[in-house]
């Protein structure tokens, strides 16, 4: 068999890698050509087994058993470090001065003093008059002006009457207790506006008043009260406002009707509930119009019933507290202890919560209900004993020099009692 060298001729040994690579590629290419031409059989990589081959036993080797390596645990001493102790930070506490607010002190409205129950103010007369000009003990004057004079037409107001009285009060440095006369002193034009009027006899004269529950009447009266308050609620000389409604004399709560007139009044629609609602409506109007003034209502039985006075007073106290009070325009010892005992009880109860005042039922030896000097003294003392320190005394008695010491001493008692309240 020829060697490659012989087949291709004697050649010199491969001199470099390039010659070697060229020879290898030539041999691979030659083999491929031979296979593709069927020149060589494929090589079976898995020759058939020979049934005569003798199996060989597997080689079993004993496992290698090694003793476990036991090592002593490494025990290290714990690292003990001293705790870091730091001094606590001590700071002075922040002490704030307490906020001190002045307590809210509710006014007591303890109305007190000697006031003149003088005549009404009109075109021809003045409540503040010369009869009381030089009375050092006098604290104020009851100024009564008719609603008709101050409201001559619907929506038209004449403030000149009250402005004049305030001017007099300022000149004399005296106070005013204001009362708007209602009932027969209500404007006549109310009827033209649709208010229902009720006729009756007062001191021999046929007069009329608007039904107190009539909505037209109430609407116009509330409007007047609102305008009145808008103009005078801040006036320093008005010390007290008496609340009035459409009653027999336009100032007191009572109706001095005879039995036939009472029947007619009931036929016109009177009920206790209607009258109570009228009063509470008007009380609310006055209290709203004069938010910083004390207001009161005169108390009388109505047709021998105490319910009107009781419910009306309860309403005023519940809503207006210490600035709502009561007035007794029937005041005498006899009336308090024998005639108007239930009203006397109302006065005492109200005085405990707010204030109560009195108007003497008459003057000494003059007027409709004359008193003796002893009766006047007893009435004044009874008022003092019960804490009724607001007193309206008739101008005839104030002008009576024989009564000067009695009334002066009584006024001193009022001042002493109110000074310790």
User: Does residue 104 form part of some domain?
Assistant: no
User: Does residue 26 form part of some domain?
Assistant: no
Strands, DSSP E only, in 236-323?
238-243, 295-298
- Stretch 238-242: mean pLDDT, rounded? 98
User: Does residue 4 form part of some domain?
Assistant: no
The DSSP H or E segment spanning 202 is strand 197-202
| Count of the separate structural domains present in the chain | 1
Question: What pLDDT, on a 0 to 100 scale, did the predictor assign at position 124?
Answer: 94
Do 119 and 125 contact (CB within 8 A), yes or no?
Answer: yes
* Overall residue count recorded for the chain in this entry: 421
| Nearest-angstrom CA–CA distance, 413 and 277 | 39
Whichever domain contains 190, its CATH number is 3.20.20.80
Domain assignment of residue 357, given as a range: 113-415
pLDDT tens-digit map of 175-231: 999 999 999 999 999 999 999 999 998 888 899 999 999 999 999 999 999 999 999
pLDDT tens-digit map of 273-297: 999 999 999 999 999 999 999 999 9
Q: Percent of the chain at pLDDT above 70?
A: 74
Q: Phi and psi at residue 82, in whole multiples of 5°? A: -65, 135
In this predicted structure, the answer to whether residue 159 has a pLDDT above a threshold of 60 is yes
Question: What pLDDT, on a 0 to 100 scale, did the predictor assign at position 333?
Answer: 98
pLDDT tens-digit map of 312-348: 999 999 999 999 999 999 999 999 999 999 999 999 9
Question: What pLDDT, on a 0 to 100 scale, did the predictor assign at position 100?
Answer: 53
pLDDT grade, residue 134 (50/70/90)? confident
In this predicted structure, the answer to whether residue 83 has a pLDDT above a threshold of 70 is no
Do 390 and 328 contact (CB within 8 A), yes or no?
Answer: no
User: Does residue 247 form part of some domain?
Assistant: yes
* Average pLDDT of the chain, as a whole number: 83
User: Does residue 54 form part of some domain?
Assistant: no
User: Does residue 421 form part of some domain?
Assistant: no
What residues contact 234, with CB distance under 8 A and at least 6 apart? 292
pLDDT grade, residue 39 (50/70/90)? very low
For the residues of 89-132, what is the DSSP string, one character each?
-------PPP------PPP-----EEEEE-PPB-SS--SS-GGG
| Nearest-angstrom CA–CA distance, 63 and 311 | 119
Tell if the pTM clears 0.85, that is, is over it: no
Question: What pLDDT, on a 0 to 100 scale, did the predictor assign at position 12?
Answer: 39
User: Does residue 39 form part of some domain?
Assistant: no
Token digits of residue 281: 């409506």
In this predicted structure, the answer to whether residue 232 has a pLDDT above a threshold of 60 is yes
């Amino acid at each position: 068999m020829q060697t490659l060298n012989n087949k291709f001729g004697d050649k010199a040994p491969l001199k470099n890698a390039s010659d070697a690579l060229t020879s290898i590629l030539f041999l691979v290419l030659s083999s491929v050509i031979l296979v593709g031409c069927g020149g060589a059989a494929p090589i079976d990589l898995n020759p058939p087994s020979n049934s005569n081959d003798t199996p060989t036993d597997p080689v079993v080797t004993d496992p290698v058993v090694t003793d476990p390596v036991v090592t002593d645990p490494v025990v290290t001493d714990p690292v003990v470090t001293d705790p870091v102790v730091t001094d606590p930070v001590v700071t002075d506490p922040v002490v704030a001065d307490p906020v001190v607010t002045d307590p809210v002190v509710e006014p007591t409205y303890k109305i007190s003093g000697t006031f003149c129950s003088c005549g009404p103010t009109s075109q021809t007369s003045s409540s503040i008059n010369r009869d009381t000009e030089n009375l050092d003990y006098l604290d104020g004057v009851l100024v009564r002006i008719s609603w008709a004079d101050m409201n001559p037409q619907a929506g038209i107001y004449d403030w000149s009457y009250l402005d004049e009285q305030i001017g007099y009060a300022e000149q004399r440095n005296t106070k005013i207790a204001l009362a708007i006369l209602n009932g027969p002193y209500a404007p006549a034009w109310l009827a033209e506006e649709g208010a229902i009027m009720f006729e009756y006899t007062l001191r021999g004269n046929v007069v009329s008043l608007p039904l107190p529950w009539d909505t037209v009447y109430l609407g116009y009266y509330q409007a007047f009260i609102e305008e009145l308050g808008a103009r005078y609620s801040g006036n320093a000389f008005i010390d007290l406002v008496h609340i009035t409604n459409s009653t027999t004399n336009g100032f007191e709560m009572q109706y001095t009707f005879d039995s036939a007139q009472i029947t007619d009044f009931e036929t016109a629609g009177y009920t206790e509930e209607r009258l109570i609602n009228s009063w509470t409506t008007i009380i609310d109007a006055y209290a709203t119009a004069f938010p910083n003034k004390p207001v009161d209502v005169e108390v009388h039985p109505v047709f021998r019933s105490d319910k009107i006075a009781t419910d009306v007073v309860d309403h005023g106290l519940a809503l207006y507290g210490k600035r709502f009070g009561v007035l007794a325009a029937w005041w005498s010892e006899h009336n308090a202890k024998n005639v108007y005992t239930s009203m006397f009880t109302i006065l005492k109860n109200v005085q405990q919560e707010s204030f109560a005042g009195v108007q003497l039922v008459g003057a000494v030896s003059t007027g409709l209900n004359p008193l003796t000097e002893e009766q006047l003294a007893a009435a004044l003392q009874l008022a003092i004993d019960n804490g009724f320190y607001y007193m309206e005394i008739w101008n005839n008695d104030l002008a009576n020099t024989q009564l000067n010491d009695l009334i002066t001493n009584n006024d001193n008692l009022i001042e002493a009692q109110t000074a310790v309240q």
